Amino acid sequence: MIARVALPVPRAAPFDYEVPPDLPVAVGDRVRVTFGTRRLWGIVVGLAGEPTFAGRLLPVEAVGGASVPASTLELITYVADLSLAGPGLALARLVPAPSKTRAREVELAVPPHAAAQVKTALAARAPAQARVLTAVGEGVATAAELRQIPGGGRAVSTLLRKGILRPRRLPFSYREEEKPINLNAAQRAAVDAIRAAIGTGKKFLLFGPPGSGKTEVYLRSAAEGVSQGKAALLLVPEVSLLPQLWARAGRALGSFPDTYFGELPPGERWQTWHGALRGETRCAVGTRSAVFLPLQELGLITLDEEGEPAYKQEEMAPYYHARAVAERRADQDGATVVLGAAAPSVETYYRGTQGEIEILPLLSRVVGAPPEVSVAPRGDDVIGPILQDAIHRHLGEGGQVLLFLNRLGFYTGAACRCRSVLRCSDCRVPLVFHLADRSFHCHTCGKVVRTPRCPSCGEDRFHLFGAGTERVEHEARRLFPSATVARLDTDTARNRDTILSAVAEGEVQILVGAQMVGKGLDFPGITLVGVVNADQLLATPDFRAGERTYQLVAGAAGRAGRGDTPGQVVVQSDQPDYYAIRCALAGDYAAFYEEELLYRESLRYPPFARLVRMIATGRDAEAKAGSLAERLLGHGFEVLGPARLLPRRGIPRAQLLVRGDESVVARLAQVLPRPPSWLKVDPDPVWLG
């Protein structure tokens, strides 16, 4: 018998290997083979009697067990095809390899008084174990910090073996108070419609302003699905939104769901994947990569904030969009898909108006009243006088404040006296000064420069300008010294759980946050939201700039006034009449959508066409893109570009956009059956700059 094995080799089709007679091999198994001079693990995508390869075949050397069911294989192959990439690399990136869990955190497995006795007994004989027990105290300690104690690593293992400590299994420590909820009529209608459709592959858009109770609808629908014997998958765009969803799903379902997201350590990723594979997992929550979880009898997938760009994998092939994959699972496995949004992507809403997706409207806030929204000029201060006054008043009344800015770092730009702006030498983007390590960072490639010099004149002193979240935090502390200020962005993500719990418990008065904080989180104590810079996206050369701006302003505004106290929103903008900002201030999605749709139609952008983004990289990128453009034009494609892009990590890049209808990817695949290695093909780009 012949096994067709997908190997992690770029753009390669699966390879034939001989299956030894005594080795049981099935489709979806992980197997080890020799490839050239290397030994690789791959995944069996097919079994056949006859080889497709004429030469002598090498044997399958070892089997590592089942790793992916046939339907997920089909899904991943489909996704890889859309990026004109081979299945091998896609499988290697999306299917986790078996891996042991290492306890990240440990806790006492015995009551504290028993631990105290053990500690006394151990003090002389095994001091390292005693010190570990002291460090764990009555709470929880991370394995990493316990390893800092001399002899700590061994001591932890011993205490785990003796059953005095145990690994902490819960992925999050987030806690909040529970409150009983009776669905309102619109929510009940939505849950009824979804319940009736579970497992039918139907698609819904749950469309309601922030605070209209969408999350509650996902949770009840998931509970319905699980009680019908189906599995449910709840997705959010950002890890920061997971602890809250996870805790609430735990209550709604009676047990905590499994979690799956990029930052999860390999052992836990494998555990969740494996649980799904064996049909044990009935509910999982996660970020975009979780959309591939091989949940058996999957009845429901929900995507909160479906318009968020973070649902798109843009960094490496396959360049999937979680929404597109979820919809594919609807068509393939009959999973019902619920897309939720206060400000849906124009494409999704358009499909709703065309009847492809059923719109379930939630009309009003279930809690609080719509916030009072006002505009303030941006001016010279990061936190201008109007916003300062508002913060002062809300803090005085015991409210919590969210200051939102979608930019990391302290100063976002540095200019020399000779007027050159300090840029990354490899990516050409402006370097951002971070106060935490007093260094300049490239946000594209991650390079850190401690003591830069101006490349034009050699000067080492710079005029610093622009504001990122670090600076907003700094200003907030300076202006409101008695308030507790916390910052939540990717730089502080390590403490995410603690920060979120502190906000939920009212211990933080001012929370400064980047993108993730702007959407989805639900903290009733937040009465004031300040959008520090609503204009930041307007300068980007992207046809979605208007949509992003609307989502940013409306999303941030939606965090205010979720409790009993009326909320207030102050939006700092110098262009309040720009339609996206004007409509967001009024909370009028319909008005925004109408204007945006006219613009998209007049320029034939999505949803009126499909765009495929092709990026040529490396030396002569522009010339290579140019000749590819000519070739595609010769085949009758509509091609925009080539346009030169900023380099990445010193590698030149140029872009083509191919415009067509839904069939454009399939037609491209015919012309480019084996795309060259310098070409990246992104079928659903969300950023074009």
How many residues lie near ligand ADP (CB under 6 A)?
Answer: 17
Compute the radius of gyration of the chain from its Cα atoms. Answer: 27
How far is residue 56's CA from residue 232's CA, in Å, rounded to a whole number? 46
| Region from 320-328, 421-429, 518-526, 581-589 binding Zn ion, contact rule CB under 5 A | 421-429
Applying CB under 6 A, does 211 fall inside the site for ligand ADP? yes
Select the residue interacting with ligand ADP from 210, 275, 466, 660 (CB under 6 A).
210
Applying CB under 5 A, does 646 fall inside the site for Zn ion? no
Applying CB under 6 A, does 483 fall inside the site for ligand ADP? no
595 binds, among Zn ion, ligand ADP, none (CB under 5 to 8 A by kind): none
List Cβ neighbours of 233 (8 Å cut-off, separation of 6 or more): 283, 284, 285, 286, 290, 291, 293, 295, 298, 300, 301, 302, 335
SS3 percent helix, strand, coil of the chain, rounded to 5, is 35, 25, 40
Applying CB under 6 A, does 143 fall inside the site for ligand ADP? no
Q: Token pair 């710079």 is at which residue?
A: 462
| Region from 206-214, 284-292, 349-357, 415-423 binding ligand ADP, contact rule CB under 6 A | 206-214
DSSP structure string for 552-620: HHHHHHTTS--SSSPPEEEEE-S-TTSHHHHHHHHT-HHHHHHHHHHHHHHTT-TTSSEEEEEEEESTT
Q: Which is nearer to Zn ion, 434 or 519 (CB)?
A: 434
C-beta of 441: minimal distance to Zn ion in Å?
9
Q: Which is nearer to ligand ADP, 366 or 621 (CB)?
A: 366
| Region from 46-54, 213-221, 325-333, 607-615 binding ligand ADP, contact rule CB under 6 A | 213-221
Applying CB under 5 A, does 424 fall inside the site for Zn ion? yes
Applying CB under 6 A, does 178 fall inside the site for ligand ADP? no
Select the residue interacting with ligand ADP from 72, 83, 129, 215 (CB under 6 A).
215
Q: Kindly state the tokens that stand for 203.
A: 């698609």
Applying CB under 6 A, does 559 fall inside the site for ligand ADP? no
Applying CB under 6 A, does 307 fall inside the site for ligand ADP? no
Select the residue interacting with Zn ion from 190, 357, 442, 553 (CB under 5 A).
442
Q: Is the CB of residue 341 less than 8 Å from the CB of residue 188?
A: no
Element spanning 181, H or E: none
Applying CB under 6 A, does 214 fall inside the site for ligand ADP? yes
The beta-carbon contacts of 597-603 under 8 Å, at least 24 apart in sequence, are: 597/346, 597/350, 599/546, 600/346, 600/543, 603/543
- Angstrom distances, CA of residue 9 to CA of 6, 13, 42, 437: 8, 9, 10, 38
How far is residue 425's CA from residue 94's CA, in Å, rounded to a whole number? 33
Applying CB under 5 A, does 439 fall inside the site for Zn ion? no
Q: Which is nearer to ligand ADP, 214 or 548 (CB)?
A: 214
- Site residues for ligand ADP, window 354-373 (CB under 6 A)? 366-367
Q: Where are the beta strands (DSSP E) in 349-431?
A: 358-361, 372-376, 400-404, 413-415
Q: Which is nearer to Zn ion, 28 or 647 (CB)?
A: 647
Select the residue interacting with Zn ion from 45, 387, 427, 614 (CB under 5 A).
427
212 binds, among Zn ion, ligand ADP, none (CB under 5 to 8 A by kind): ligand ADP
Q: Which is nearer to ligand ADP, 1 or 183 (CB)?
A: 183
C-beta of 175: minimal distance to ligand ADP in Å?
15
Select the residue interacting with ligand ADP from 134, 184, 425, 444 (CB under 6 A).
184
Q: Which is nearer to Zn ion, 186 or 427 (CB)?
A: 427
Select the residue interacting with Zn ion from 81, 358, 426, 497 (CB under 5 A).
426
Q: Which is nearer to Zn ion, 10 or 446 (CB)?
A: 446
Select the residue interacting with Zn ion from 71, 444, 484, 575 (CB under 5 A).
444
182 binds, among Zn ion, ligand ADP, none (CB under 5 to 8 A by kind): ligand ADP
Q: What is the identity of the amino acid at 367?
A: V
In the DSSP assignment, the letter for residue 174 is -
| Region from 86-94, 205-213, 391-399, 587-595 binding ligand ADP, contact rule CB under 6 A | 205-213
Q: Which is nearer to ligand ADP, 187 or 271 (CB)?
A: 187
Q: Where are the beta strands (DSSP E) in 49-193?
A: 62-66, 105-108, 140-142, 165-167
| Region from 35-43, 152-160, 209-217, 455-463 binding ligand ADP, contact rule CB under 6 A | 209-217
**469-479 vs 385-396: helix crossing angle, rounded to 10:** 60
Select the residue interacting with ligand ADP from 72, 83, 129, 212 (CB under 6 A).
212
| Region from 37-45, 88-96, 437-445, 592-600 binding Zn ion, contact rule CB under 5 A | 437-445
C-beta of 217: minimal distance to ligand ADP in Å?
7
Binding mask 447-476 for Zn ion (x = CB under 5 A): x-----------------------------
Shortest CA distance to 87 belongs to which of 142, 42, 41? 42
Applying CB under 6 A, does 230 fall inside the site for ligand ADP? no
547 binds, among Zn ion, ligand ADP, none (CB under 5 to 8 A by kind): none
73: three-class secondary structure by DSSP: helix
Output the CA angle 270-276-282, nearest 5 degrees.
Answer: 135
At 398, phi and psi to the nearest 5?
85, 10
- Site residues for ligand ADP, window 508-527 (CB under 6 A)? 522
214 binds, among Zn ion, ligand ADP, none (CB under 5 to 8 A by kind): ligand ADP
What's the number of CA atoms in the CB half-sphere (13 Å) around residue 22?
0
DSSP structure string for 538-549: TTS--TTHHHHH
How far is residue 684's CA from residue 348's CA, in Å, rounded to a whole number? 13
Other CB atoms within a 10 A radius of the CB of residue 474 amount to 17
How far is residue 61's CA from residue 598's CA, in Å, rounded to a whole number? 60
96: three-class secondary structure by DSSP: coil
C-beta of 653: minimal distance to Zn ion in Å?
13
- Site residues for ligand ADP, window 561-580 (CB under 6 A)? 562
Select the residue interacting with ligand ADP from 14, 213, 513, 518 (CB under 6 A).
213
- Beta pairing class for 203-207 and 358-361: parallel
Applying CB under 6 A, does 123 fall inside the site for ligand ADP? no
661: three-class secondary structure by DSSP: coil
Applying CB under 6 A, does 183 fall inside the site for ligand ADP? yes
C-beta of 673: minimal distance to ligand ADP in Å?
44
Q: Is the CB of residue 330 less than 8 Å from the CB of residue 368?
A: no
Q: Identify the burial level of 384 via C-beta atoms within 10 angstroms of its C-beta, where 0-12 means exposed, 13-18 middle and 19 or more buried.
A: middle
Shortest CA distance to 678 belongs to which of 609, 627, 604, 605? 627
Applying CB under 5 A, does 415 fall inside the site for Zn ion? no
- Angstrom distances, CA of residue 374 to CA of 390, 529, 582: 11, 11, 11
Sign of CA dihedral 114, 119, 122, 126: positive
237 binds, among ligand ADP, Zn ion, none (CB under 5 to 8 A by kind): none
Applying CB under 6 A, does 237 fall inside the site for ligand ADP? no
| Region from 20-28, 175-183, 249-257, 477-485 binding ligand ADP, contact rule CB under 6 A | 175-183
Which residues here bind ligand ADP, judged by CB under 6 A? Answer: 181-184, 187, 208, 210-216, 366-367, 522, 562
Which residues here bind Zn ion, judged by CB under 5 A? Answer: 424, 426-427, 442, 444-445, 447
